[in-house]
Structure 1
């Protein structure tokens, strides 16, 4: 008796449909170009991009609100120009005071 004839396998493992299904499953999960590892990487990249999309949509909305606020009043435009771009009137002097860098121990 050969060694392979003495091995008792369950009947469903000898079924040709089970063998085909098992081979297909192994191929799809591990050997295919778009296997499970790549699918997980694509999913994580997609979720990261979705969170970035939400962040940028929120930033765009905030910028639009600031733009509407600036366009509504000349006083706000002047305040914005003075704070962001250090603009001044002709008869003014502008002094920029920056905090000292922290001392390293």
Structure 2
């Protein structure tokens, strides 16, 4: 009994089917324009799109901060709230709640 007389291997006697299978395997895995290469490029594109959206949001926030800091009131508010600056005749009292103190200790 020959190996080619097996009912499962009969379709592989056709040379066109063998060439087609080799071509499909080559195009999917080994070619320069393979499916794997395109899949990797598509994932890179998705990551770059996410980064683009993130940086656009950051630019919008920075534009708002610049507009706020372009006025005297905005500069004074930022200096008082962020850097705890004060005028010569003022006293500043910083009130910390227990929630914020515990949270700071856990972060360290």
Q: Which TM-score applies when normalising by structure 1?
A: 0.68
Q: How many residues align?
A: 99
Which whole-Å CA distance do the structure 2 matches of 1:46 and 1:99 have between them? 45
Give the root-mean-square deviation of aligned CA atoms: 3.0
Cα distance, 1:84–1:7 mapped onto 2, change above 3 Å:
same
Gaps of 5+ in 1: none
Q: Which residue of 2 aligns with 1:3?
A: 3
Q: Which residue of 1 aligns with 2:55?
A: 56
Gaps of 5+ in 2: 104-108
Alpha-carbon distance, 1:97 to partner: 1.9
Aligned match for 1:81, one of 79, 86, 103: 79
Alpha-carbon distance, 1:93 to partner: 2.2
Alpha-carbon distance, 1:53 to partner: 1.2
| 1:1-105 matched pairs, under 5 angstroms | 2-4=2-4, 6-7=5-6, 9-10=10-11, 14-16=14-16, 18-31=17-30, 35-71=34-70, 73-100=71-98, 101=102
